[in-house]
Amino acid sequence: MITFDNVSKTYAGQTRPALRDVSLDIDKGEFVFLVGSSGSGKSTFLRLILREYKPTKGSIYVAGHDLGRLPAWRIPRLRRQVGTVFQDFRLLPGKTVYENVAFALQVIGKSSREIRTIVPETLDLVGLGDKSERLTDELSGGEQQRVALARAFVNRPPILIADEPTGNLDPTTSVGIMKLLDRINKTGTTVIMATHDSTIVDQMRKRVIELSDGELVRDQSKGVYGY
């Protein structure tokens, strides 16, 4: 589903690469934790998958696209195949739960009939079926992250990227979000999650990829957060 082939990324004006000679394969349906200290290259790795940057060296393949050959006009289609959630939720303010999720389908041209079916189904999946008319600003952090997950997953993308999705949540709420990510993963969606949450990584026992100073230093199946 995702291949990095000898990928390096050096930002303009920098001498040290943010990512150095990274090669790996992530298969369809895998759940992968991306760990490493701050500045180790995790966000750079995720942003390369979304084609926010091009690598300085090497090749990246995502859901059948060779990102080095992807023309700019096809980038939106790539991004439709990669749902994203972030630590800070990034919801539309002043809009309801329903509208936040429906918007993701409106922008890709789904009919209102489809939207009226799919949005409630997806809100039920994340346990927010009874809150669709609430403004997201009024919800708890955990509920807001559920809305973000519903929005990311509502068009059933083959890949979901989560950048510290539990970073702003208490431990109990985080467990709920992880259960949802696990459920989404079990539908066949490939999940890649960058995190500093050692408790969660140690509980889930999924593949763990560790970056250090831009280098891939560990790739462990059923892994733990650190040694």
Q: Which residues bind ligand ADP (CB under 6 A)?
A: 11, 14, 18, 36, 38-44, 96, 98-99, 102, 112, 115-116, 120, 132-133
* Rounded Cα–Cα distance for residues 11 and 189 (Å): 30
From first CA to last CA, the distance across the chain in angstroms is 28
* Rounded Cα–Cα distance for residues 23 and 15 (Å): 21
* Residue 121 vs 182, nearer CB to ligand ADP: 121
Q: Shortest distance, CB of residue 54 to ligand ADP, whole angstroms?
A: 13
Q: Shortest distance, CB of residue 172 to ligand ADP, whole angstroms?
A: 26
* Residue 97 vs 180, nearer CB to ligand ADP: 97
* Residue 115 vs 180, nearer CB to ligand ADP: 115
Q: Is 66 exposed, middle or buried (0-12, 13-18, 19+ CB in 10 A)?
A: exposed
Q: Shortest distance, CB of residue 11 to ligand ADP, whole angstroms?
A: 3
* Rounded Cα–Cα distance for residues 128 and 201 (Å): 26
Determine if residue 43 is left, alpha or beta; phi over 0 gives left, psi from -120 to 50 gives alpha, anything else beta.
alpha
Q: Shortest distance, CB of residue 47 to ligand ADP, whole angstroms?
A: 8
* Rounded Cα–Cα distance for residues 215 and 21 (Å): 7
* Rounded Cα–Cα distance for residues 75 and 105 (Å): 17
Q: Shortest distance, CB of residue 226 to ligand ADP, whole angstroms?
A: 15
DSSP characters over 183-218 = HHHHTT-EEEEE---HHHHHHH--EEEEEETTEEEE
* Residue 42 vs 207, nearer CB to ligand ADP: 42
* Residue 27 vs 121, nearer CB to ligand ADP: 121
